[in-house]
A and B are shown apart, each in its own frame.
Chain A
């Protein structure tokens, strides 16, 4: 009997093994017919450390291709991200051309992890990647991949609400030389050139340089306040109207990407200089720009990739980035929030700072494919952040209590310094994907991070992807993520205060945490039609925010306090009824709640509940016409606020629709292409700001821009 069983099992075993042997040939891509090949999808990296398509990736992935950028006229990353479901991007009112990026219910850019070719860009001081780079120019970019939702299980800190991966061109993907130029109204200037170089066999490089300039002014909303009259003890109205927001920006960068066999080395230098004024002062009439923001950013990174043992893949990354920024904020802007009694002589600086930070990052991971239906990604990550330059001063601190502002260099004696600090991070991660059947796969991941300041963070993520047919994909995702406290929050005391309060740093902050559950359904009823629907719920705990200190009315402090949650729906469509026409669009709805203290919930103010993006593209051999736009409406208004000295009114935020158009005449002479862009065709003004604090928060957009451009490649 036992022998019978043994024989049966042996036979079964051999059958299974032989099926494996027979499967060898059938796995080759050369088995496909030419018609099959036409329907195969090209892999994208998806920011998930393994290659797949957006359909099969264990996350909600949105891809902006080079073709999208060219057709829609995106020259900077901010313009492109505004088209991603759940994203709203505007200029930061605080610093001019820097970007504020809202994602779903989150209003802080440090919740987004930016990657350049898979390597971290976020700095230690701000936690984000737009403080030292006002924006990223796209001429050198092949693709932008956006993962929506938390992915700390692979990337660690800041992969909190989204991951944005910028994929630059490699030398073998570009032509010998490319030159492009755009000039337009309002000082609009955009120049880019790239050249491919052959260094020696197997080694080639791209060198590139870009310049971007803008000089724009938009009307600012009127401000109404009531200010305490110290003589009568009554509040008296104060109104500001006819103010304009002036912004002037010049950015240049240059860089290179070099490849030698399996090694890539890329580096760039970016310099940006912007000046603006918030224009909300009582007496300020001149259209000069007292606020200045100068930032430089140098980065060098390397990447080595290779297959090993035929079916596994190894990647090693290393990068060094150095950021420096100078900020100067002048007095006129502060008068709206300054409590009466302080009447400084002339213009003085509210705040001047010169900050520098650098980051070293080393990461290595392997994609292991030991058995069919199983894929494992395992890796480690080391990171060190430093603050290397600190120079802060203020002209509005009443040091000696005589109610006259003094100019003071901030130092340790005042406990207001940005302390020189460093932070080390050690992390290991593991992700496994199991495909028990052709139509179903499960992915589970876990990452352990150890920070030298606040300790450990462990973040899991599980995903199930079900593809019952080529027409349908269903995904369910659950995960947690964290946002590490920034050096600003842990080390800097500043004047980001209402009514003159000082904000005190907190070195004992813990990271914010987020928990997400998300479902996605995508359908392709026809090959030329894609429909998608996402439903998500995010729950944020230990929110890092400014909290009043009981008994100390002149101070507030960074603390982990309260929670936030948001939920919403995102729907998208891409449809190409004919070769020459394509229609795409997406709609997002987000409902958010902020619970600062227990059982008291308010909407997260200053974000839109509804966002609509759309694009229609007509493409012929000789021309391309694209009309695209975005609409934001149903904003969560900024509530009224009363301080001992000033009563601020409720700020109602108005809906807007921005319409853009681009016409391209292609190859009119050899490869010369001419573009005509009109951005913000309807000349919609939007300037949403909460100017009740030291520097106004919120976003603004540009006025109508008309640009004429050309591109020539050879």
Chain B
């Protein structure tokens, strides 16, 4: 009787082990992501490379998404997480008034017609403005994502409007600036 149970146990454990072994070998083989996922991760990374003048006084770092939500659940893994001793929070709204106090403001393409007025509304608040709209940095935005072909694949890269970053009193690391395609 005992031997039968042992046999069953061995079979069950072998089965589950194989399932697990498969996972060990499989690893995370995903090398490709949707453009908005990559942009979300960039935005998350920017926090390490930008110093906000009022960072020390804030308990929360807020990433605001203005307009049609292009990110879906992309920010879900980090929304509410701790960065140092700050809580990261992601907020979405169609009203700039709701997002004026963000640390990072992502302006989606649905707001293309009013980018200038949004940036004017922010005045010189220390808000890092980001978008993937063409011509965004030319309109006073700070970081603009774009896609480019390299070696047959499409990559997401970014431009920086350093002048605008400085005007807003943000300090941006040299490492980040050096990775941008161009700085104005």
Count, chain B residues at interface, CB 8 A: 66
Binary contact track B1-43/A, C-beta < 8 Å → 1, others 0: 0110010011001101101111111111111111101101110
Given the known interface contacts A42-B32, A65-B154, A373-B26, the answer about A172 and B108 at a Cβ–Cβ threshold of 8 Å is yes
Given the known interface contacts A5-B10, A42-B38, A438-B29, the answer about A522 and B152 at a Cβ–Cβ threshold of 8 Å is yes
Q: Does B84 contact A (CB under 8 A)?
A: no
Q: Distance (Å) between the CB of B126 and the closest chain A CB?
A: 21
Which of A29, A43, A438 has the most C-beta atoms of chain B within 10 angstroms of its own C-beta? A29
Q: Does B166 contact A (CB under 8 A)?
A: no
Residues from chain B with a CB closer than 8 A to the CB of A176 are 112-113
Residues from chain B with a CB closer than 8 A to the CB of A6 are 6, 9-10, 13
Residues from chain B with a CB closer than 8 A to the CB of A44 are 154
Q: Flag the segment in B57-65, B97-105, B117-125, B143-151 that touches A.
A: B143-151
Q: Does A684 contact B (CB under 8 A)?
A: no
Q: Does A282 contact B (CB under 8 A)?
A: no
Q: Does B157 contact A (CB under 8 A)?
A: yes
Q: Does A669 contact B (CB under 8 A)?
A: no
Residues from chain A with a CB closer than 8 A to the CB of B25 are 373, 436-438
* A714 nearest in chain B by CB position: B113
Expressed in whole angstroms, the Cα–Cα distance for A222 and B21 within the complex equals 71
Q: Distance (Å) between the CB of B109 and the closest chain A CB?
A: 5
Q: Which of A2, A33, A55 touches B45 (beta carbons < 8 Å)?
A: A33
Q: Which of A16, A23, A28, A37 touches B19 (beta carbons < 8 Å)?
A: A16
Q: Does A242 contact B (CB under 8 A)?
A: no
Q: Are A30 and B77 in touch, CB under 8 angstroms?
A: yes
Residues from chain B with a CB closer than 8 A to the CB of A56 are 31-32
Q: Which of A12, A42, A175, A371 touches B34 (beta carbons < 8 Å)?
A: A42
Q: Are A530 and B6 in touch, CB under 8 angstroms?
A: no
Expressed in whole angstroms, the Cα–Cα distance for A671 and B157 within the complex equals 21
* A574 nearest in chain B by CB position: B152
Q: Are A41 and B113 in touch, CB under 8 angstroms?
A: no
Q: Are A198 and B41 in touch, CB under 8 angstroms?
A: no
Residues from chain A with a CB closer than 8 A to the CB of B157 are 38
* A529 nearest in chain B by CB position: B151
Q: Are A201 and B94 in touch, CB under 8 angstroms?
A: yes
Expressed in whole angstroms, the Cα–Cα distance for A12 and B20 within the complex equals 9
* B46 nearest in chain A by CB position: A34
Q: Are B70 and A172 in touch, CB under 8 angstroms?
A: yes
Q: Are B45 and A37 in touch, CB under 8 angstroms?
A: yes
Expressed in whole angstroms, the Cα–Cα distance for A68 and B134 within the complex equals 17
Q: Distance (Å) between the CB of B154 and the closest chain A CB?
A: 4
Q: Does A54 contact B (CB under 8 A)?
A: yes
Q: Are A26 and B28 in touch, CB under 8 angstroms?
A: yes
Expressed in whole angstroms, the Cα–Cα distance for A38 and B109 within the complex equals 22
What is the interface residue range for chain A against chain B? 35 or more
Residues from chain A with a CB closer than 8 A to the CB of B2 are 2
Residues from chain B with a CB closer than 8 A to the CB of A574 are 149, 151-152
Expressed in whole angstroms, the Cα–Cα distance for A43 and B153 within the complex equals 9
Given the known interface contacts A13-B20, A204-B68, the answer about A527 and B150 at a Cβ–Cβ threshold of 8 Å is yes
Q: Does A52 contact B (CB under 8 A)?
A: yes
Q: Are B152 and A671 in touch, CB under 8 angstroms?
A: no
Q: Does B176 contact A (CB under 8 A)?
A: yes
Q: Are A42 and B153 in touch, CB under 8 angstroms?
A: yes
Q: Are A175 and B20 in touch, CB under 8 angstroms?
A: no
* B114 nearest in chain A by CB position: A176
Q: Does B155 contact A (CB under 8 A)?
A: yes
Given the known interface contacts A9-B13, A41-B155, the answer about A29 and B20 at a Cβ–Cβ threshold of 8 Å is no
Q: Distance (Å) between the CB of A623 and the closest chain B CB?
A: 16
Q: Are A41 and B3 in touch, CB under 8 angstroms?
A: no
Binary contact track B73-111/A, C-beta < 8 Å → 1, others 0: 110011000000000000000100000000000001110
Q: Which of B20, B26, B38, B150 touches A17 (beta carbons < 8 Å)?
A: B20
Q: Distance (Å) between the CB of A499 and the closest chain B CB?
A: 51
Q: Does A412 contact B (CB under 8 A)?
A: no
Q: Does B168 contact A (CB under 8 A)?
A: no
Given contacts A42-B35, A371-B26, A373-B29, 4 further A-B contacts (CB under 8 A): A9-B13, A40-B31, A172-B109, A172-B110
A residues with a Cβ closer than 8 A to B are 2, 5-6, 9-10, 12-13, 15-17, 19-20, 23, 26-30, 32-35, 37-44, 51-56, 63, 65, 67-68, 171-176, 196, 198, 201-202, 204, 307, 371-373, 435-438, 441, 522, 524, 526-530, 532, 574, 576, 579, 582, 621, 667, 671, 713-714
What are the 6 tightest A-B residue pairs by CB atom distance, in nearest-first order? A16-B20, A373-B26, A530-B152, A41-B153, A2-B6, A9-B13
Can you pick out 24 interface pairs between chain A and chain B where the beta carbons lie within 8 Å of each other?
A2-B6, A9-B14, A13-B16, A13-B20, A16-B23, A33-B45, A34-B42, A34-B49, A34-B175, A34-B176, A37-B156, A41-B31, A41-B33, A41-B153, A51-B34, A67-B149, A371-B19, A372-B22, A373-B23, A438-B26, A438-B29, A524-B152, A530-B152, A576-B149
B residues with a Cβ closer than 8 A to A are 2-3, 6, 9-10, 13-14, 16-17, 19-35, 37-38, 40-42, 44-45, 49, 68, 70, 72-74, 77-78, 94, 108-110, 112-113, 133-135, 147-157, 175-176, 179, 181-182
